[in-house]
């Protein structure tokens, strides 16, 4: 799953706060995973894309809380995003458990 940003499609808004954007990214991610029949526990890789590397630190507690004991391979990239209001984008790869 890629292109998960802090944009809230329910309210058609995006927060100015990077932590709130990270929280929205994770809500959207969890909803998309559920649609695919997966959970956060099945995430094997995550990529964090941020225009400002300093924004990862305030987001880290939110990200750790979401992933808990799950330890996916992770990469953080500093790059421009499609909209200047976007402060974080999260991509995840999940492998659905057999069953």
Q: Please write the tens of the pLDDT for every residue from 75-91.
A: 999 999 999 999 999 99
Q: Could you tell me the domains of the chain?
A: 4-94 (3.30.1330.40)
The pLDDT of 69-80, averaged and rounded, is: 96
- Rounded-to-10 torsion of CA 14, 15, 20, 25: 10
- φ/ψ of residue 93, rounded to 5: -120, 130
The pLDDT of 10-14, averaged and rounded, is: 95
Q: Please write the tens of the pLDDT for every residue from 49-66.
A: 999 999 999 999 999 999
* Average pLDDT of the chain, as a whole number: 95
Query: Are 22 and 12 in contact, with CB atoms under 8 Å apart?
Result: no
């Amino acid at each position: 799953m890629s292109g998960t940003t802090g944009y809230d499609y329910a309210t058609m808004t995006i927060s100015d706060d990077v932590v709130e954007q990270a929280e929205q990214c994770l809500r959207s991610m969890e909803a998309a995973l559920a649609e695919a029949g997966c959970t956060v526990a099945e995430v094997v890789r995550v990529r964090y894309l941020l225009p400002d590397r300093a924004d990862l630190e305030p987001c880290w507690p939110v990200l750790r809380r979401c992933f808990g004991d799950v330890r996916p391979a992770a990469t953080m990239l500093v790059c421009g995003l499609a909209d200047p209001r976007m402060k974080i984008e999260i991509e995840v790869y999940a492998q659905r458990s057999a069953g």
